[in-house]
Amino acid sequence: MPKGYEPADVEARWNKHWEDNKTFSPNPAEVLSGEKQPYSIVIPPPNVTGALHMGHALNLTLQDILCRFMRQQGKSVLWVPGTDHAGIATQNVVERQLKKEGKKRDDLGREAFIERVWDWKKEYGDRILNQIRRMGASVDWTSERFTLDEGLSKAVREVFVRLYGEGLIYKGNYIVNWCNRCHTALADDEVEHAPKKGKLYRIKYPLADGSGELIVATTRPETLLGDVAVAVHPEDERYTHAIGKAVVLPLVGKQIPVIADAYVDKEFGTGCLKITPAHDMNDWALARTHNLEVIPVIDDTGHMNENAPEAYRGLSKTACRDKVVEDLEALGLLVDIADHDHSVGECYRCKSVIEPHVSEQWFVKVGPLAKAAREAVPSQTQIFPAQWEKTYYEWLDNIRDWCISRQIWWGHRIPAWTCQACGELLVQMEDPADLAHGCAKCGGALKQEDDVLDTWFSSALWPFSTLGWPEKTDKLKAYYPTGVLVTGFDILFFWVARMMMMGIHFQEQVPFHHVYIHALVRDEQGKKMSKSTGNVIDPLVMIDKYGTDSLRFTLTAFAAMGRDIKLSEKRIEGYRHFVNKIWNSARFALMNLPEAPKATLAQALENAPLANRWILHRLEEVKDEVESATLEYRFNDIAQGLYKFIWNEFCDWYVEMAKGDLYGEDEAKKDATRKVLLTVLSETMVLLHPVMPFVTQEIWSVLPGITDKELACQPYPVRRPECKSPQAARDMAFFQGVVGAVRTIRTELCIEPAKKLPLIIDTDGAFDGAQAVLTGNAHLIAQLGRIDSSDIGPGKTGPRASGTAVVEGARIFVPLKGIVDFNAEVARLDKELGKLDKQLAALKGKLSAPGFAGNAPADIVAAEQEKLAGLEDAKGKLAELQERLKSALTEEA
């Protein structure tokens, strides 16, 4: 094995191996026959336009941990990879490309443009998939899908046609969020709200009868041209006289009514609200209840249209605003302009300001779908962490109909045709064979809808469309519903809730049993990573520098539930050290495993030394920990449990203790320890494999005596209840305490590391068996504490001039006469005694507190009393040892 771990080569090699061997392609038959339980995950499909970012890296890591773990648990695991066509985003990318060539999409025409996008997709769509490979994701590449591929398009059409048939899809003229730049409608949740500094203009609207005027407040004076009414609160005494009268609309000159509606806030502005139904969501709603006319004055490109007075026609809305203000001022109708902070809707794709706009659009009537989706949580689908349930409910409870039509070209074209002659609307699966003579009623020419569907419409079907629906495939039968959906909270609404709606409606089963919402990955300062801020940590760069396993482990270690991850490169670099540590521990093991050990584990366990019994005991505990942590999505606990076990226990203690046997002459001992070493290492590789697939697989493949070189297909390590040994744990803790005490004395008193020292231990007062632990492992204490001679037994006493400590009642003496300045040891013991005093005071206070003995459970009281006795014993002994030392010092002086 090379001295240092070289990830690039290892990762490339195994990735190729896994894909060539279809290691992660399951067979549905093994589920349908009942041989295996299914476990499936559909990947949140990244945008084809996208490049892998840290959010993806985290998302993929967590899913991969679950998939690899479930394979170990004997499940038939299907992880479906794929990409999303991301309508607006992708179209924008290609349009930008065209712009560089000085062209617009209209120059190409619809078909040529779409072809162009496909070309682009073919060229760049694989990039993100290759990046998924580099993460080590154990997806089934034979199941890869794209939201716009043939099968999925069929699913989309089936859903659309059926929902239309059920009356859950309708078409109509409504006000929608309109992006002038993308030139399309957007759903409510595609609008982001950003605070903006704006102005509040107060404008006089004279009453038509000359009895005065009303003053309205607005942030968008140009919309005045489309006003159809002024509304006041019905109980606002200031204006009751005006209700029912008319005002003269400035600049336009026509009369509009003053209406009353409780929606108006008396406190805000002047209490008078101008109503522009065509350009404001709320005004639209008011107009509907009051039967007001809708007059659009801004067109779909953001310019004033023919409904505006001639002077303003053709102006952009900002230019128009300036002119309107100017003209109002000239007429003396402008009262004042004040600064005003408010939030403004922006397009989530291009950040342009959203213009409410009236147009003919398609909608999904979400009420019934949302109700079912709501009721399925948490009984059918559990959300982890559960706090997100509330957010999920909140959204579903307040949901409005979903605008699904988009005025772009890249996407699923709406399967509806209108007869140019009689106006008949056709919604059906198949394209009418001959558009020229298609109308069933009159034979008139049919024209397909120009609009395409919202990208999220196809995403909503992802959990079943990817499995082959509407065909009744084996895959669908075997793997639907999926086990878990792993995603960030930012698309809980966009995606998760809609998959729930569609899954329940079309499969009559929820799409997943669990939803795991993971953190957002932020930068060091906790800011969102973004290209414009320049604080992006690119996962691929990190992989190149530190290896995939380091990156994965880092993300796992920080993936505590319900908390954002603040990531910095230093952390990844730090965990690379861990990968290297694992590599080196394997190198050590292999150097000592020239061949597979002959002994069975049972044989190795006969009369096994403490080190072997202890590490096997800990291994059993770690198996339990890793399993429960994985099942409960406590990813950080998986990482931390394994880190501690491998580094602080296996490497720091076990390997050091095993060296004696491994380097020794006793062949039986050597073989037994080799067996334990190999067992622990190999099973640890299995446990760690879901988190670090590459380094573990590479090590596994060179372990002696292992026939199946494919680590990804190994079962979870068997449990060995016979290896659990609380006694070994206790003995080891004692042993570590003694070694630690000796080491502390050495370092604190500045004794040269090379200097070997004698050691005396009095085991009186320690637990039964303590004596045996120490004498049985005296050679190890000598090795680890640099001791040249030891004398261990009950009642033993060292010279007064010793460095001393008390461990679990046993007194430790390190004779140091002539070696060091004992004043330092006196001072050190003072410090130790001080600590003990503090603990004793706290404990005594607790025990003597009124009511403690009576109210606390008996076992707690007993435990506390035992602790007290232990502390008092230690303090007494240590104080006495210090006195002896002092007396030795005064004698010398």
Partner RNA sequence: GGGCGGAUAGCUCAGCUGGAAGAGCAUCGGCCUUACAAGCCGAGGGUCGCAGGUUCGAGCCCUGUUCCGCCUACCA
Range 209-238, binding RNA (CB under 7 A): 216-220
- Find all residues with CB under 8 Å of 706, minimum gap 6, and list them: 682, 700
Measured from the CB atom, the residue of 140 and 355 that comes closer to RNA is: 355
Residue 839 in contact with RNA, rule: CB under 7 A: yes
Measured from the CB of residue 545, what is the shortest distance to RNA in angstroms?
A: 10
Which residues are bridge partners to 40 per DSSP?
A: 78
* Residue labelled with tokens 């709406």: 414
Report the b/e string of 10-23 with b at 16+ CB within 10 A. bbeebbeebeeeee
Residue 190 in contact with RNA, rule: CB under 7 A: no
Tell which positions 91-150 bind RNA, by CB under 7 A: none
Tell which positions 17-76 bind RNA, by CB under 7 A: none
Measured from the CB atom, the residue of 152 and 399 that comes closer to RNA is: 399
Stretch in the footprint of RNA (CB under 7 A) among 133-141, 161-169, 649-657, 693-701: 649-657
Measured from the CB of residue 388, what is the shortest distance to RNA in angstroms?
A: 8
Tell me how far apart the alpha carbons of residues 691 and 689 are, in angstroms, rounded to a whole number.
5
Measured from the CB atom, the residue of 89 and 132 that comes closer to RNA is: 89
Measured from the CB atom, the residue of 266 and 720 that comes closer to RNA is: 266
Tell me how far apart the alpha carbons of residues 643 and 628 are, in angstroms, rounded to a whole number.
16
Q: Considering only residues 391, 407, 448, 473, which one is a binding residue for RNA as defined by CB under 7 A? A: 391
Tell me how far apart the alpha carbons of residues 332 and 325 are, in angstroms, rounded to a whole number.
10
Q: Considering only residues 124, 141, 174, 647, which one is a binding residue for RNA as defined by CB under 7 A? A: 647
Residue 545 in contact with RNA, rule: CB under 7 A: no
Residue 598 in contact with RNA, rule: CB under 7 A: no
Measured from the CB of residue 413, what is the shortest distance to RNA in angstroms?
A: 28
Residue 743 in contact with RNA, rule: CB under 7 A: yes
Q: Considering only residues 27, 37, 282, 407, which one is a binding residue for RNA as defined by CB under 7 A? A: 282
The token pair at 277 is 């139904």
**8 A C-beta contact, residue 395 and residue 380:** no
Measured from the CB of residue 205, what is the shortest distance to RNA in angstroms?
A: 12
Which amino acid, residue 671? D
Residue 744 in contact with RNA, rule: CB under 7 A: yes
**8 A C-beta contact, residue 122 and residue 438:** no
Tell which positions 606-645 bind RNA, by CB under 7 A: 634, 636-637, 640, 644
Which amino acid, residue 615? I
Q: Considering only residues 864, 873, 886, 889, which one is a binding residue for RNA as defined by CB under 7 A? A: 864
Measured from the CB of residue 843, what is the shortest distance to RNA in angstroms?
A: 5
Tell which positions 398-437 bind RNA, by CB under 7 A: 398
Residue 727 in contact with RNA, rule: CB under 7 A: no
* CA 250, 256, 258, 262 torsion-angle sign: negative
Which residues are bridge partners to 214 per DSSP?
A: 205
**8 A C-beta contact, residue 46 and residue 121:** no
Measured from the CB atom, the residue of 137 and 874 that comes closer to RNA is: 874
Q: Considering only residues 108, 843, 888, 889, which one is a binding residue for RNA as defined by CB under 7 A? A: 843
Measured from the CB atom, the residue of 132 and 559 that comes closer to RNA is: 559
**8 A C-beta contact, residue 462 and residue 420:** no
Measured from the CB of residue 714, what is the shortest distance to RNA in angstroms?
A: 23
The token pair at 322 is 């300036």
Measured from the CB atom, the residue of 108 and 847 that comes closer to RNA is: 847
Measured from the CB atom, the residue of 300 and 832 that comes closer to RNA is: 832
**Distance of alpha carbon 161 from the chain centroid:** 35
Measured from the CB of residue 892, what is the shortest distance to RNA in angstroms?
A: 26
* Residue labelled with tokens 């941990």: 65
Q: What is the DSSP letter of 316?
A: B
Q: Considering only residues 350, 591, 702, 824, which one is a binding residue for RNA as defined by CB under 7 A? A: 591
Measured from the CB atom, the residue of 564 and 791 that comes closer to RNA is: 564
Stretch in the footprint of RNA (CB under 7 A) among 163-171, 305-313, 331-339, 392-400: 392-400
- Find all residues with CB under 8 Å of 766, minimum gap 6, and list them: 734, 807, 808, 809, 810
Measured from the CB of residue 348, what is the shortest distance to RNA in angstroms?
A: 10
Measured from the CB of residue 467, what is the shortest distance to RNA in angstroms?
A: 29
C-alpha separations of 462 from 80, 145, 199, 862 in Å = 10, 9, 45, 58
Stretch in the footprint of RNA (CB under 7 A) among 171-179, 682-690, 766-774, 841-849: 841-849
Residue 377 in contact with RNA, rule: CB under 7 A: no
Which residues are bridge partners to 359 per DSSP?
A: 174
Residue 831 in contact with RNA, rule: CB under 7 A: yes
Measured from the CB of residue 702, what is the shortest distance to RNA in angstroms?
A: 14
Q: What is the DSSP letter of 650?
A: I
Residue 765 in contact with RNA, rule: CB under 7 A: no
Measured from the CB of residue 66, what is the shortest distance to RNA in angstroms?
A: 19
Measured from the CB of residue 842, what is the shortest distance to RNA in angstroms?
A: 5
Q: Considering only residues 719, 849, 876, 887, which one is a binding residue for RNA as defined by CB under 7 A? A: 849
Q: Considering only residues 122, 193, 254, 288, which one is a binding residue for RNA as defined by CB under 7 A? A: 193
Tell which positions 326-345 bind RNA, by CB under 7 A: 340, 342-343
Stretch in the footprint of RNA (CB under 7 A) among 49-57, 298-306, 385-393, 537-545: 385-393
C-alpha separations of 282 from 205, 273, 356, 358 in Å = 20, 11, 10, 13
Tell which positions 257-276 bind RNA, by CB under 7 A: 263-271, 273-274
Residue 390 in contact with RNA, rule: CB under 7 A: yes
Tell me how far apart the alpha carbons of residues 494 and 507 are, in angstroms, rounded to a whole number.
20
Q: How many CB atoms are closer than 10 A to CB 32?
A: 15
Tell me how far apart the alpha carbons of residues 216 and 272 are, in angstroms, rounded to a whole number.
5
Measured from the CB atom, the residue of 64 and 637 that comes closer to RNA is: 637
Measured from the CB atom, the residue of 129 and 225 that comes closer to RNA is: 225
Q: Considering only residues 189, 300, 355, 451, which one is a binding residue for RNA as defined by CB under 7 A? A: 189
Measured from the CB atom, the residue of 287 and 478 that comes closer to RNA is: 287
Selection from 688, 662, 498 nearest residue 581 by Cα: 688
Measured from the CB of residue 314, what is the shortest distance to RNA in angstroms?
A: 24
Tell me how far apart the alpha carbons of residues 38 and 26 are, in angstroms, rounded to a whole number.
10
Tell me how far apart the alpha carbons of residues 403 and 188 are, in angstroms, rounded to a whole number.
8
Tell which positions 563-582 bind RNA, by CB under 7 A: 563-566, 570, 574, 576-577, 579-581
Residue 842 in contact with RNA, rule: CB under 7 A: yes
Tell me how far apart the alpha carbons of residues 199 and 194 are, in angstroms, rounded to a whole number.
15
**8 A C-beta contact, residue 5 and residue 579:** yes
Strand-pair category, 405-406 with 810-815: unpaired
Strand-pair category, 272-275 with 229-232: antiparallel
Measured from the CB atom, the residue of 265 and 293 that comes closer to RNA is: 265
Tell me how far apart the alpha carbons of residues 55 and 112 are, in angstroms, rounded to a whole number.
34
Give the long-range contacts of residues 146-150, CB within 8 A, separation 24 or more: 146/45, 146/48, 146/82, 146/83, 146/84, 146/85, 147/45, 147/82, 147/83, 147/84, 147/85, 147/455, 147/458, 147/459, 147/462, 148/85, 148/411, 148/412, 148/458
Selection from 335, 327, 301 nearest residue 316 by Cα: 301
Tell which positions 427-486 bind RNA, by CB under 7 A: none
Q: Considering only residues 234, 244, 526, 876, which one is a binding residue for RNA as defined by CB under 7 A? A: 526
The token pair at 489 is 């909270």
Question: Which residue intervals of 689-725 are DSSP H helices?
Answer: 693-700
Q: What is the DSSP letter of 489?
A: G
Q: Contacts with RNA: how many residues (CB under 7 A)? A: 100
Residue 799 in contact with RNA, rule: CB under 7 A: no
Q: Considering only residues 331, 596, 824, 863, which one is a binding residue for RNA as defined by CB under 7 A? A: 863
